[in-house]
Copies of this chain bind each other. A is one copy, B any other.
Amino acid sequence: MRTRIAIPLLLAIWNLQGQALTGFTPTAAEKERQLEARFDSQLSADNLDAWMQRMTAQPHWVGTDYGAENARWMQQQFQSWGYEARIDTYQVLFPYPRVRLLEMTGPEPFTASLKAIPVDGDPYTQQGDALLPSYNAFSTDGDVEAELVFVNYGVPADYEELEKLGIDVKGKIVIAKYAGSWRGIKPKLAAEKGAIGCIIYSDPKDDGYFQGDVYPKGAYKNATGVQRGSVMDMPLYPGDVLTPGYAATENAQRLNREEAPTITQIPVLPISYADAEPLLKALEGPVAPPAWRGALPITYHIGPGPARVHLKLEFDWQLRPAHNVIATLKGSMFSDQWVVRGNHHDAWVHGASDPVSGMVALMEEARVVGELARAGNRPKRTVIYCAWDAEEPGLIGSTEWVEDHKKELQEKTVAYVNTDGNGRGFFGAGGSHTLQTLVGEAAADVTDPQTGVSVKERRMAREAVDGEAGEFSISALGSGSDYTPFIQHAGIASLNIGFGGENGGGEYHTIYDTYTHFKRFKDPDMAYGVALAKVAGRIVLRLANAEVLPLTFGPWEQTVSGYLKEVMNTAETMRNEVEAHNALVAKNAYGLAADPKEPVAKPGEKTPVPYLDFSPLQNALASLGNQVKQLEAKDPQQLPADKKARLNRLLMQTEHQLTDEAGLPRRPWYKHQIYAPGFYTGYGVKTLPGVREAIEQRNWPEAQTEIGRLAATLDAMTAHLSTINQLFQ
C-alpha cells in the first residue's frame, strides 16, 4: 500500500513547493512541508491493522475490563513513543440492562427475541454472553402495557401529521423508525406528547436489505441486527447525568438519579426489523402516509392498536470508571499553547469501525509525531493526544475532562481536533469556520489513496457532480462526538474530520461492527486510516508549528452572514406558509379536499408570523465585516516577535468571543452562540441556535431577545478583532 501511493505523493510535494501555507513564512512553509513528507513516509497501515485487531478482540464498553485494559495498553504505547501519558478516571453513572422484555399481548401473542444472530465467518459475533445486550442507555426503568402507535421517525413533523389525522399518542406506546433524527429525540418527544413507552427499530428501507445485501453476504443490517445507543437528553447537556457542568470525580456531589433531567421520562428499547415486523403488521387504523412507509412487506398502518405491547425494562444503575488516556508532548517553544487531538476508545460492542478505526489512525499519527520529535523535530506548541472513554453513552469521558479542566483549557488551547469512525471514501470536515482555510490547505496536500488526486480535489469533484457550489467549505458542528464539550461548552475552536461515503453498511452499534466486517467492507487495506492520519497530522503539526496561528476570518464571516440570511428566510417562509394556510382554512379548502371516508382533524387557523427586527444583527455583521476586511489586508508575518506573540494569544481567544456564559435558553450548558445541536434534532446542527430555534418554535418574543443577545455576541467578536487590528498600528 505504501508503495502504491508513493509516486503521486512525491509528485504532489513537488507541485506544492512554493505554495503558501497560512501562518507560515515561505521559508517556514517549505520546512514544514519537508517535515510532513517525513511524517507521511513513516506511517504504517500495518500498525493500524494490528492495533485494531488487538483493541477489538473483545467487547469494550465503558466499565469493562477489556476497556480498562485497552486504556492501559494505549497509555503504554504513548509512553513508548515519548509522551507523558496518564489515565484520568471519572466515576460516571452507566446503566447496564438487567431485564428486557417486549411482548405483544394482543391481538396475537408474540415475544421479541431481542437477539442478533451470530454469523458464519465472523468469530467476533459468536462470543455469546460476552456481547452487550441491545438497549438504549439512559432509558428509565419501566413496566408499561398499552396499544401501539406507529409514529414514523418520531420527530416534530410526524406528530404534526398525526394531529392532522386526529391521532393522539397519550397513554400509548409508540414505535418509531431509527433515522430522521438522533435517536434520543424519539423518546423525548414521545414523552412530551404523553406516550408511556417507546420502541425504536431499524427499518430495512433505511438500514437493511433495501440498502444492499445484508450481513454476512453484504455489509448491511440483517433482520436481527439492533442498533444500540444512548438516549440521554444530550441537547440539554451531555456527559455524566449526575454531574451537570462539573466533573464526575470520585467525591463530586451528585444529583439523585430521580432528579437527573437527561434520563428519559419513559422506557425505550431498540429492536431489530425481525422483531418489529409482527408488531407493525398487527396495527390497523389509517394507512401511514407514503413517506412514512418502510421496506417491510406489509401495509404500514398507524394504529393505535389493535396491537397491544408490554414493555418491561430494568437497569443496573451503577457508577463505573471511565478511563481517559491523556498523552502530552510538551512544545519546544510555546509549552502553554496546546493543540488537543482526540478520539474515543470505548465501543458498544467491538467497535471496529466506531471508534477503533479512528482511534488507531490517531495512535499512528501520535507515534510518528513522537518519532519526529525524538529525531529533533519536536512541535513548537504542546500536543495532547486523548483517547476518550464513555463517549457512546453520552460523550461522558471527554465532557467530564473538559468540565474538570475547563479554565486551563480555555486559556491554553489553540484548537481541538476530533476524529471518530473512519472508512473508505470522501474527505469530510466540520468545525469552527476560522479553521476552514487550514483544513482546505491540509486536504489539498494529502493524496487520495484510490484516485491519486488530493483528497480535497476528490471531495470537490463529488460535490460538483452532486450539483453543489464550487468553493471548499467545512460544515457546522452539531453533536455526536467528543468535540461538543470543547466547542459548545468551553468555546474552543474545534474540528471534526474523517473519510467515508464508500463504506456503507448496517453495522453501526451492533454486534456486527467487527474486525471481520471492517476488513471486508469499510477500509480493507487501512488506506483511509493512513489518509486520515495524514490530514489530521498536518492540521496538528501546522497548528503546533505555525508562526502565526492559521485562523482566517473571511470564510468565517461569509458563513455567519449566510446563516443570518437562512434565518431571515426561515421567518419569511413561515410567514408565507401561515398566510397560505390561513387562506385555505378560510375557504374550507382542507375540508373539501379531504376524503370524507377518512375523517381527519380539520386544521385551524395559525397565528400569523410577525415581522422581527433583524437590524441589530445586520448592523453587528456590518461592523464585523469592516474589521474582517481590515484584518485580511494585513500581513501578520511582518509583525515584530512580541506583537506576533500577542497576536497568537488573541487568536487563541477568538472562538471564546462567540460564547455567552448564560448559555442558550433552557440549556445553559451550551454556551456557543453560533453552533449547537438542535433541541429537537439532537445531533443535527442548528446555527445561530438561539434565534433560529426560537423562530422554529414560534416563540417570537424570545426570537427578538435572542437577536439582541446574538448581536451583542457578534459585537464582542468585532471588539476582539478591533483589538487585533490595533496591533498593526
Residues of chain A at the chain B interface (Cβ within 8 Å): 204, 209-214, 218, 220, 287, 293, 295-299, 425, 450-451, 453, 457-458, 461-462, 464-466, 502, 584, 587-593, 595-597
Question: In the assembled complex, which residues on chain B have CB atoms less than 8 Å from the CB atom of A293?
Answer: 210, 295
Q: Which of B458, B462, B592 sits near A453, CB closer than 8 Å? A: B592
Q: Which of B298, B457, B465, B587 sits near A584, CB closer than 8 Å? A: B465
Instruction: Compute how far the CA of A15 lies from the CA of B589 in the bound complex, rounded to whole angstroms.
Output: 20
Instruction: Compute how far the CA of A239 lies from the CA of B590 in the bound complex, rounded to whole angstroms.
Output: 43
Q: Which of B287, B466, B588 sits near A213, CB closer than 8 Å? A: B287
User: Within the complex, what minimum Cβ distance (angstroms) separates A448 from chain B?
Assistant: 8
Give 29 A-B contacts (CB < 8 Å), ordered by A residue: A204-B297, A209-B298, A210-B293, A211-B299, A213-B299, A214-B299, A218-B299, A293-B295, A295-B295, A295-B297, A296-B297, A297-B297, A425-B595, A451-B591, A451-B592, A458-B593, A461-B587, A461-B588, A461-B589, A461-B592, A461-B593, A462-B592, A462-B593, A464-B584, A464-B587, A464-B589, A465-B584, A465-B589, A466-B593
Question: In the assembled complex, which residues on chain B have CB atoms less than 8 Å from the CB atom of A584?
Answer: 464-465
Instruction: Compute how far the CA of A479 lies from the CA of B36 in the bound complex, rounded to whole angstroms.
Output: 68
Instruction: Compute how far the CA of A646 lies from the CA of B108 in the bound complex, rounded to whole angstroms.
Output: 76
Check B210–A592 contact: CB distance below 8 A.
no
- Determine the residue in chain B with the shortest Cβ distance to A594: B465
Instruction: Compute how far the CA of A204 lies from the CA of B589 in the bound complex, rounded to whole angstroms.
Output: 32
Q: Which of B465, B587, B591, B595 sits near A593, CB closer than 8 Å? A: B465
Instruction: Compute how far the CA of A218 lies from the CA of B465 in the bound complex, rounded to whole angstroms.
Output: 44
Instruction: Compute how far the CA of A297 lies from the CA of B297 in the bound complex, rounded to whole angstroms.
Output: 6
Looking at A209, A299, A584, A597, the one whose CB has the most chain B CB atoms below 10 A away is: A299
User: Within the complex, what minimum Cβ distance (angstroms) separates A55 from chain B?
Assistant: 26
Instruction: Compute how far the CA of A597 lies from the CA of B502 in the bound complex, rounded to whole angstroms.
Output: 9
- Determine the residue in chain B with the shortest Cβ distance to A451: B592
Question: In the assembled complex, which residues on chain B have CB atoms less than 8 Å from the CB atom of A297?
Answer: 204, 209, 295-297
User: Within the complex, what minimum Cβ distance (angstroms) separates A85 from chain B?
Assistant: 38
Instruction: Compute how far the CA of A212 lies from the CA of B451 in the bound complex, rounded to whole angstroms.
Output: 47
Check A451–B287 contact: CB distance below 8 A.
no
| Apart from A295-B295, A465-B584, A502-B597: 5 A-B pairs, beta carbons within 8 A | A212-B287, A214-B299, A458-B593, A464-B593, A465-B589
Question: In the assembled complex, which residues on chain B have CB atoms less than 8 Å from the CB atom of A299?
Answer: 209-214, 218, 220
Question: In the assembled complex, which residues on chain B have CB atoms less than 8 Å from the CB atom of A457?
Answer: 592
6 nearest interchain CB pairs?
A461-B592, A461-B589, A465-B593, A462-B593, A297-B297, A464-B589
Instruction: Compute how far the CA of A218 lies from the CA of B300 in the bound complex, rounded to whole angstroms.
Output: 13
User: Within the complex, what minimum Cβ distance (angstroms) separates A591 from chain B?
Assistant: 8
Question: In the assembled complex, which residues on chain B have CB atoms less than 8 Å from the CB atom of A210?
Answer: 293, 299
Question: In the assembled complex, which residues on chain B have CB atoms less than 8 Å from the CB atom of A461?
Answer: 587-593
Instruction: Compute how far the CA of A298 lies from the CA of B212 in the bound complex, rounded to whole angstroms.
Output: 9
User: Within the complex, what minimum Cβ distance (angstroms) separates A176 from chain B?
Assistant: 19
Looking at A211, A461, A462, A588, the one whose CB has the most chain B CB atoms below 10 A away is: A461
Question: In the assembled complex, which residues on chain B have CB atoms less than 8 Å from the CB atom of A298?
Answer: 209
Instruction: Compute how far the CA of A204 lies from the CA of B210 in the bound complex, rounded to whole angstroms.
Output: 14
Instruction: Compute how far the CA of A587 lies from the CA of B293 in the bound complex, rounded to whole angstroms.
Output: 40
Check A596–B464 contact: CB distance below 8 A.
no
Instruction: Compute how far the CA of A603 lies from the CA of B457 in the bound complex, rounded to whole angstroms.
Output: 19
Check A450–B596 contact: CB distance below 8 A.
yes
Instruction: Compute how far the CA of A287 lies from the CA of B213 in the bound complex, rounded to whole angstroms.
Output: 8
Instruction: Compute how far the CA of A450 lies from the CA of B591 in the bound complex, rounded to whole angstroms.
Output: 11
Looking at A214, A287, A453, A593, the one whose CB has the most chain B CB atoms below 10 A away is: A593
Known: A209-B297, A296-B297, A298-B209. A502 touches B595 (CB 8 A): yes
User: Within the complex, what minimum Cβ distance (angstroms) separates A174 from chain B?
Assistant: 22
Question: In the assembled complex, which residues on chain B have CB atoms less than 8 Å from the CB atom of A593?
Answer: 458, 461-462, 464-466
User: Within the complex, what minimum Cβ distance (angstroms) separates A585 from chain B?
Assistant: 11
Instruction: Compute how far the CA of A204 lies from the CA of B502 in the bound complex, rounded to whole angstroms.
Output: 30
User: Within the complex, what minimum Cβ distance (angstroms) separates A458 from chain B?
Assistant: 5
Question: In the assembled complex, which residues on chain B have CB atoms less than 8 Å from the CB atom of A588?
Answer: 461
Question: In the assembled complex, which residues on chain B have CB atoms less than 8 Å from the CB atom of A204?
Answer: 297
Question: In the assembled complex, which residues on chain B have CB atoms less than 8 Å from the CB atom of A214?
Answer: 299
Q: Which of B213, B451, B465, B590 sits near A596, CB closer than 8 Å? A: B451
Check A465–B590 contact: CB distance below 8 A.
yes
Instruction: Compute how far the CA of A212 lies from the CA of B202 in the bound complex, rounded to whole angstroms.
Output: 21
User: Within the complex, what minimum Cβ distance (angstroms) separates A94 from chain B?
Assistant: 37
User: Within the complex, what minimum Cβ distance (angstroms) separates A147 from chain B?
Assistant: 19
User: Within the complex, what minimum Cβ distance (angstroms) separates A67 from chain B?
Assistant: 33
Instruction: Compute how far the CA of A457 lies from the CA of B589 in the bound complex, rounded to whole angstroms.
Output: 9
Check A458–B592 contact: CB distance below 8 A.
yes
User: Within the complex, what minimum Cβ distance (angstroms) separates A360 from chain B?
Assistant: 22
Question: In the assembled complex, which residues on chain B have CB atoms less than 8 Å from the CB atom of A597?
Answer: 502
Instruction: Compute how far the CA of A213 lies from the CA of B285 in the bound complex, rounded to whole angstroms.
Output: 11
- Determine the residue in chain B with the shortest Cβ distance to A296: B297
Question: In the assembled complex, which residues on chain B have CB atoms less than 8 Å from the CB atom of A425?
Answer: 595
Instruction: Compute how far the CA of A461 lies from the CA of B591 in the bound complex, rounded to whole angstroms.
Output: 8
Question: In the assembled complex, which residues on chain B have CB atoms less than 8 Å from the CB atom of A466?
Answer: 593
Instruction: Compute how far the CA of A595 lies from the CA of B453 in the bound complex, rounded to whole angstroms.
Output: 14
User: Within the complex, what minimum Cβ distance (angstroms) separates A289 from chain B?
Assistant: 12
Question: In the assembled complex, which residues on chain B have CB atoms less than 8 Å from the CB atom of A296?
Answer: 297
Instruction: Compute how far the CA of A431 lies from the CA of B207 in the bound complex, rounded to whole angstroms.
Output: 46
- Determine the residue in chain B with the shortest Cβ distance to A524: B597
User: Within the complex, what minimum Cβ distance (angstroms) separates A78 from chain B?
Assistant: 35
Instruction: Compute how far the CA of A461 lies from the CA of B462 in the bound complex, rounded to whole angstroms.
Output: 43
Instruction: Compute how far the CA of A299 lies from the CA of B596 in the bound complex, rounded to whole angstroms.
Output: 38
Instruction: Compute how far the CA of A595 lies from the CA of B425 in the bound complex, rounded to whole angstroms.
Output: 8
Question: In the assembled complex, which residues on chain B have CB atoms less than 8 Å from the CB atom of A590?
Answer: 461, 465
Instruction: Compute how far the CA of A462 lies from the CA of B596 in the bound complex, rounded to whole angstroms.
Output: 13
User: Within the complex, what minimum Cβ distance (angstroms) separates A357 from chain B?
Assistant: 18
Question: In the assembled complex, which residues on chain B have CB atoms less than 8 Å from the CB atom of A453?
Answer: 592
Question: In the assembled complex, which residues on chain B have CB atoms less than 8 Å from the CB atom of A587?
Answer: 461, 464
Instruction: Compute how far the CA of A404 lies from the CA of B433 in the bound complex, rounded to whole angstroms.
Output: 76
